[in-house]
Amino acid sequence: MDRLEVFLSELLDINPNTDIGLIESAYKKADRMHEGQLRKSGEPYIVHPAKVALILADLGMDDRTLAAALLHDTVEDTPYSLEQLSKEFGREVAFLVGGVTKLGALVYESKEERQAENLRKMFLAISKDIRVLIIKLADRLHNLRTINYMSAQQIQEKCKETLEIYAPLASRLGMYQVKFELEDIALKYTEPEVYEDLVKRVRERKAERETNIERIISRIKDVVAEYHIESEIKGRSKHFYSIYSKMKAQNKPFEEIFDLTAIRIIVESVKDCYAVLGMVHTLWRPMPGRFKDYIAMPKPNMYQSLHTTLIGDDGRPFEIQIRTWSMHHVAEYGIAAHWKYKEGIGQDQEELKLAWIRQTLEFNQDSEDPREFMEMMRTDLFSDQVFVFTPKGDVIELPAGSTPIDFAFKIHTGIGVKCVGARVNGKMVPINYVLQNGEVVDIVTSNNSKGPSMDWLAIAKSSHARQKIRQWLKKQDRTQNVEKGREVLEKAVKRKGYDPGDLVRAHWVAKAAKHMGYSNVNELYAALSYGGVVVNRTITKLADFYQEEYDRKVSGEVEAPAPAKQKKPAQTQEDGSRIIVDGMGGMMVRLARCCSPVPGDTIIGFITKGRGVSVHRTDCPNIQGLSEGDKERLIEVAWDVSKSFGTFDADFSILADDRKGLFSDISRTCVEMDVNISGVNLKTNSDGSVSITMTLSIGSVDEMHKVLRVLSQVESVREVYRARG
């Protein structure tokens, strides 16, 4: 059989009711559009979308989702457009493909900004159809299954992203099968020694563990049979990443992690769940504080089950999970279970209780900063959760570590602003009290409250609360906020080693404010004062604007400003007395900043209008680009070898693969060569590399060649060259 026949056969084995016409058409279109493209494994590209479709079929997804999976890379990687796809396969399939497609046409300042914008786009699509995320998770799962063909750096980046974003998203959807496999593969490649050691240790204790499990299951079956309760009982080993996380969280060696296996009991009804719970509690002593009732209080991803940890006959703890068959389907497949077992429910976002997606989108509308967005994802979406109650018994979900302030703003902004304290389980607590699962929280308010202060931003855990606090602070004393924001920015600029006079200029700050979405410069300063903007991002913007002006091509006497740098005494390169001008004396001579010539460079003079002779390198773009008329103003100049030259500022451009400690290594190399760094500008590129422009104090061309040679040997540096202008 050819590849298509094999694929269709596997698909029909999973679901005999598959719409073969639609799926075969989508497969052939994808195969044709990806023709000639190979995966890193050397396989035809169609293998990947076909495998993704099979993963989704196994999850029970519908035919249009499978068609979208087959076509999901065509728009991004081939000339095939969404418009064409919509005409051939319908708007629904086109929407799913468009939601999965990454933003490729825009240029971002950093990998984090690109990642944040792609997630924003995906969440917007998810809010309209959750299947977008399910396709994305299946896509990531197959990519991880074949990740060994990628480069070492790509493997680390993909695995880190998987652990930080995609595995938590799978957890949010209740797709634990996908989550566990994603985490285990990522662990295998990020911590290979730890992973192999865990595999070995778990295998060594397998026989002993299985014997113990069989003994436990046998006792449970006997007592359940007495009460004529229909059940299925089996053991389930914990996945490796779960064991690894527990070892880290509890700071324990493997030998002290006992509950490596959970016993799962599946019954027919909720009544049976609680009956079986009582039975097992009579067989073994439960561990205090280790019982969780997710039936009465389901997780946000709809997961329901009873969890209890018991002390075994050998003194070792083990876990039992009790659930109904319908709960089990949701636990295994998460949201996908609604397509697998309940036709039509998959489209109803309210029934799926995906409030967290709507909250993400609300934050998306208010946050311009990708770092803030990613921080919100990590704290509000991907962190552990705590469940507390209002006095009326309503359940409130918050990030673990939340305080009464987070609770108050989750209830209503007006309550948060007037919060002066809280009662937890009837006792007064301060506003920085850390809430625990199951506590009843009652906020104490006062109309005389002065409202939030800057300190509240450090106390609040949730992004929602911090956002509301910032908005409130923004409306307060505007004059004071503006002045404080200006002070915050100038201090931060100094800490970065820049002269505030270089960067904090009115037209650049105004430009930064507009670029970052503020109506005027005072709005930006006010935001800086209450923590509404990441200060480092503002400085990066200002440095970029400065660099743009510095890099601007000049002609004739018009020169760009010097690179932004630390404030220090005037450089010796301003002194043109070391230059001999052919046939002319008494003229003011200055070295051009656009190309920064140093002794040993071949140089040429340009007679400016009213500013003397400007000395350039002969390869300076500004000189090479002169019109024929302006070339008449060129004049021969030379270095005066009878004088001591001192040092001159020269610009170097470095292109390197971004990594931790890169600039530290570059700086240390310069120190070892006794070369002073007088200016730096760094910019992250969309491909993961970083471009660094450095202004170094150089004594001669020979020293420059040495600097180029030594810097090129720094790890991760791709190329080093002297900036031409």
Contact (Cβ atoms closer than 8 angstroms) between residue 512 and residue 545: yes
Three-state SS letters, 249-305: HHCCCHHHCCCCEEEEEEECCHHHHHHHHHHHHHHCEEEEEEEEECCCCCCCCCCCC
How many residues comprise the chain?
725
Q: How many CB atoms lie within 10 A of CB 302?
A: 20
Beta bridge partners of 319: 262, 309
In eight-state DSSP terms, residue 72 is T
3-class SS at 504?
A: coil
User: Between the CA of residue 37 and those of 7, 33, 85, 185, 281, what are the distances in Å?
Assistant: 19, 9, 19, 26, 59
Matching residue, tokens 């200029």:
505
Contact (Cβ atoms closer than 8 angstroms) between residue 489 and residue 504: yes
The active-site residue, picked from 43, 58, 76, 157, is 76
Q: How many CB atoms lie within 10 A of CB 422?
A: 23
In this structure, what is the dihedral angle of CA atoms 293, 297, 300, 301, given to the nearest 10 degrees?
A: 50
Indicate if 77 belongs to the active site: yes
The active-site residue, picked from 77, 157, 368, 397, is 77
Q: Name the phi and psi angles at 289, rounded to 5.
A: 75, 5
Instruction: Name every residue whose Cβ is closer than 8 Å to that of residue 321 and which is 6 or more positions away in sequence.
Output: 262, 263, 264, 265, 305, 306, 307
Q: How many CB atoms lie within 10 A of CB 469?
A: 27
Indicate if 636 belongs to the active site: no
Distance separating the N- and C-terminal Cα atoms of the chain: 62
Contact (Cβ atoms closer than 8 angstroms) between residue 335 and residue 345: no
Instruction: Name every residue whose Cβ is closer than 8 Å to that of residue 675 and which is 6 or more positions away in sequence.
Output: 696, 697, 698, 703, 707
Q: Do strands 285-293 and 261-267 pair parallel, antiparallel, or not at all (unpaired)?
A: unpaired
DSSP for 636-686 reads -EEE-TTS----EEEEEEEEEE--TTHHHHHHHHHHHTT--EEEEEEEE-T
d(C-alpha 331, C-alpha 180), whole Å = 12
Three-state SS letters, 505-554: CHHHHHHHHHHCCCCCHHHHHHHHHCCCCCHHHHHHHHHHHHHHHHHCCC
d(C-alpha 115, C-alpha 137), whole Å = 16
Contact (Cβ atoms closer than 8 angstroms) between residue 334 and residue 301: yes
* Phi/psi-derived region of residue 103, left when phi > 0, alpha when psi is between -120 and 50, beta in every other case: beta
Q: How many CB atoms lie within 10 A of CB 680?
A: 21
3-class SS at 149?
A: helix
d(C-alpha 123, C-alpha 107), whole Å = 20
Two structure tokens written together for 395 = 């359940």
3-class SS at 205?
A: coil
3-class SS at 355?
A: helix
* Phi/psi-derived region of residue 324, left when phi > 0, alpha when psi is between -120 and 50, beta in every other case: beta
In eight-state DSSP terms, residue 418 is T
Annotated active-site positions, please?
A: 76-77
